[in-house]
Amino acid sequence: MKVGVIGTGMMGKNHARVYSDMDGVVLVGVSDINEKSGREVAERHDCEYYKNYEDLLAVEGLDAVSLCVPTSMHYDVGRIVIEKGKHVLIEKPIADTVENARKLVSLAKKAGVKLAVGHIERFNPAVQELKRLVDSGKLGDITSILARRVGIMPPRIKDANVIIDIAVHDIDVFRYVLGKEPESVCALGGKALIKDREDYADILMKYNGTNGFIEVNWLTPVKIRVLNVTGTKGYAQLNYITQELTLHESVYEKTYDRFGDFVLNFGEPNKIPVEVKKEEPLRLELCNFIEAVKGNGELLVNGNDGLEVLKIAERIMKSMGK
């Protein structure tokens, strides 16, 4: 399987690193308008450098491409990659607008190529275990799901606000874990340190019977990536960074007081560390992409998933008056 990487920023460098170490995969080349960055990555992984990505796409036998350029370029570059008949994984978000996302999904379907979207947290082993907990009914009916994704702003991000850049991770995880789309969204946020883009937001989403809340910002000086889920049978705590997952099983009995009124008597919850096989999510994501291209299974995150997440993100921004 011959692959290429377009864009050698932070994520592109990591895509190239993982591909170069995958069995059955050959990293043919990388492309970036920044010659210094592109050549460094190419030399590190013993592949070709192309300043023009269309020259990379012209390489005979190239099967698949990771697209890791800035968000504002996803549609223009993605369209050409798809029209050249290459399977493509586009880093999140799928595009800068819902309209462009729809076009990419349509183009991929017409061309018969796989379109994956890099919502990497779905591949986090702790998220996979949480999904199994929820689906098994261990937590009962889910009443709330809460995420905190905060920290200082990455200097590389210059064309997306905090919702499009990082809140989309948790928007996608909520969809995946709950298996639902939000009925309504409401958000408050603004521009605290960055004058041209929102750098903080508090997002409330209402699902059928479940409340979802996301706190996201580029202001908190400490990097926090956590997810908490409360259900009628228990509570789960997840740390995206350490890939730790803890289940707290509720212990209670239903009784009646001396007046005949119904009461719940809660005991000490059972705290159960959930075993998680820790692995690099990006490696799992790229393996899923390559296997799907080979015809071995389906994409865990496809173009339609990326489109739906972007739709929700746009609804959130509209609720903020943007």
By C-alpha distance, which of 244, 236, 183 is closest to 209? 183
Q: CA–CA separation, 322 vs 316, rounded Å? A: 9
Is the pLDDT confidence value at 109 over 80? yes
What's phi and psi for 101, nearest 5 deg? -65, -45
The pLDDT assigned to 270 comes to 86
Q: Does domain 122-279+308-319 correspond to CATH entry 3.30.360.10?
A: yes
* Helix, coil or strand: residue 21: coil
Q: What token pair was written down for 195?
A: 């004058």
Q: Out of 12-26, 37-51, 137-151, 267-281, pick the least confident.
A: 267-281
Tell me the pLDDT tens digit for each residue of 226-258. Answer: 999 999 999 999 999 999 999 999 876 666 655
Q: Which residue has the higher pLDDT, 264 or 68?
A: 68
Predicted pLDDT at 208: 92
Q: Rounded to 5 degrees, what angle do the CA atoms 289, 314, 70 make?
A: 50
pLDDT band at 160; cut points 50, 70, 90: confident
CA distance 87 to 75: 15
SS3 label, residue 125: helix
pLDDT band for 153, please (50, 70, 90 cuts).
Answer: confident
- When pLDDT is cut at 50, 70 and 90, the band that residue 179 belongs to is very high
Q: Which residues pair with 207 in a beta bridge?
A: 210
Give the number of residues written for the chain.
Answer: 322
Taking residues 153-163, report their average pLDDT.
80
**Alpha carbons 50 and 52: distance in angstroms, whole number:** 5
285 and 118 Cβ atoms separated by less than 8 Å? yes
Mean pLDDT of 171-191: 97
CATH 3.50.50.60 fits 2-121+284-301, yes or no: no
Contact criterion met (CB below 8 Å) for 66 and 12:
yes
Rounded to an integer, the average pLDDT of 172-188 is 97
The predicted pLDDT at position 263 comes to 57
Assess contact for 144 and 285: CB atoms under 8 A: no
Q: Rounded distance, CA 6 to CA 16, Å?
A: 10
The angle at the Cα of 176, spanning 290 to 93, to the nearest 5 degrees, equals 60
Please answer whether residues 216 and 153 qualify as being in contact, where contact means their C-beta atoms are separated by less than 8 angstroms: no
- Which residues is 27 bridged to in the sheet? 3
Looking at the chain, list the stretches that DSSP marks H as alpha helix, in order from N- to C-terminal side: 10-20, 35-44, 53-57, 74-83, 98-111, 125-136, 162, 168-178, 281-294, 303-319
Q: What ranges do the domains of the chain cover?
A: 2-121+284-301, 122-279+308-319
On whether the CB atoms of residues 218 and 194 are closer than 8 A, the answer is yes
Residues 221, 11: Cα–Cα separation, whole Å: 22
For the chain, count helices (H), then strands (E).
10, 16
The DSSP result for 190-214, as a single string, is E-SS-SSS--EEEEEEEETTEEEEE
Convert 86-107 to b/e letters by CB count within 10 Å (16 or more is b). bbbbbbbbbbbbbebbbbbbeb
